[in-house]
Amino acid sequence: MTAVLGTPPLPPKSVALLARAGIRSVADLQAYGAAAAFALLRAEGLPVPEAVLWRLGELAAGLPAFSLDESGKQALRARLKRTPPQALFPPAEEAAHFMRLALRQAEQAAAAGEVPVGAVVVRGGQVLAAAANRCVAEHDISRHAEIAALSVAGRALGNYRLEGCDLYVTLEPCAMCAGAVMQSRIRRLIYAAAEPRSGAAGSVLNLFAEPLLNPHTAVQGGVLAAEAGALLQAFFRARRD
């Protein structure tokens, strides 16, 4: 049986937060990564000392507590620097609710002859902005759903930095939109369908994992991916026919 994470060697609050993220056992920790788990604890506001990183590294490697040598610690520090932003993501029902709102925007885009992509910005459970692709209507390549939604949310808050906000979008962002998301300081990006030809959140490249860009956004994909993918396929099938 796989060992369950507990205290000691980890602090009780760290164990509880990791459990909320689905990291309950050593096997879960190994799959998630010790450095990523430590980054998650800090991202969620726990004032964890570096010693917790050592304990996580030891657990993941199957080593006894307090046995990590200096070279092992340096390797974990280096891995932590390369770790993309982490966050606890909304429960599945909540994520599906807001993604359905984005899908409604995508359906409106399809009806208008636009590529069916929709986006919604949420903060504290409240929708700040909802938008669809408008490139054809506005003769503007920058009017992707993500950028349009970020613009509306910025005006609503009186600030282009959307810290503490989530962006739901029905298709993995392209490089242009990924850059806008990072510049806006969106906390969590949740997308539906992957974009294998131009996706910049992991499919073709992952700008959100590039440490030189100082990213601030944690990314989760695959929420209602089948629904979003079916909408896109139907749209392009109709255009070919």
pLDDT at 1 > cutoff 70: no
**Catalytic entry in 50, 107, 114, 146:** 146
> Is the same domain home to 59 and 166?
no
> Is the same domain home to 28 and 63?
yes
> Is the same domain home to 76 and 98?
no
C-beta of residue 26 within 8 angstroms of C-beta of residue 56: no
State the average pLDDT over residues 112-141: 97
pTM of the predicted model as reported, rounded to 2 decimal places: 0.94
H-helix segments, 24-160: 26-32, 34-43, 50-61, 70-81, 92-111, 135-138, 145-157
Catalytic annotation present for 210: no
d(CA 86, CA 84): 6
d(CA 34, CA 144): 36
Q: Examine the fold and report which residue of 49, 82, 115 is the final residue of a domain before the chain moves on.
A: 82
More confident residue, 239 or 218: 218
> Is the same domain home to 135 and 207?
yes
pLDDT at 51 > cutoff 60: yes
> Is the same domain home to 157 and 234?
yes
C-beta of residue 201 within 8 angstroms of C-beta of residue 179: no
Q: Which range of residues forms the domain containing residue 73?
A: 12-82
State the average pLDDT over residues 199-224: 96
As a whole-number percent, the residues of the chain with pLDDT over 90 amount to 94
φ, ψ at 15 (rounded to 5°)? -60, -45
> In the structure, what pLDDT confidence band is assigned to residue 160 with cuts at 50, 70 and 90?
very high
C-beta of residue 175 within 8 angstroms of C-beta of residue 127: no
> Is the same domain home to 108 and 193?
yes
> Is the same domain home to 175 and 103?
yes
Residue reference for tokens 């050592």: 54
The answer to the question of residue 87 being in a domain is no
Q: For residue 101, what pLDDT is reported?
A: 98
> In the structure, what pLDDT confidence band is assigned to residue 175 with cuts at 50, 70 and 90?
very high
Summarize pLDDT for 54-110 with one digit per residue, the tens. 999 999 999 999 999 999 999 999 999 999 999 999 999 999 999 999 999 999 999
174 in a labelled binding site: yes
Average pLDDT in the chain = 96
> Is the same domain home to 148 and 174?
yes
> Is the same domain home to 70 and 101?
no
The H or E element containing residue 14 is helix 12-20
pLDDT at 231 > cutoff 60: yes
Summarize pLDDT for 31-45 with one digit per residue, the tens. 999 999 999 999 999
> Is the same domain home to 119 and 208?
yes
Q: For residue 214, what pLDDT is reported?
A: 87
State the average pLDDT over residues 129-145: 97
Q: For residue 240, what pLDDT is reported?
A: 86
State the average pLDDT over residues 163-192: 97
Q: What is the CATH number of the domain that holds 33?
A: 1.10.150
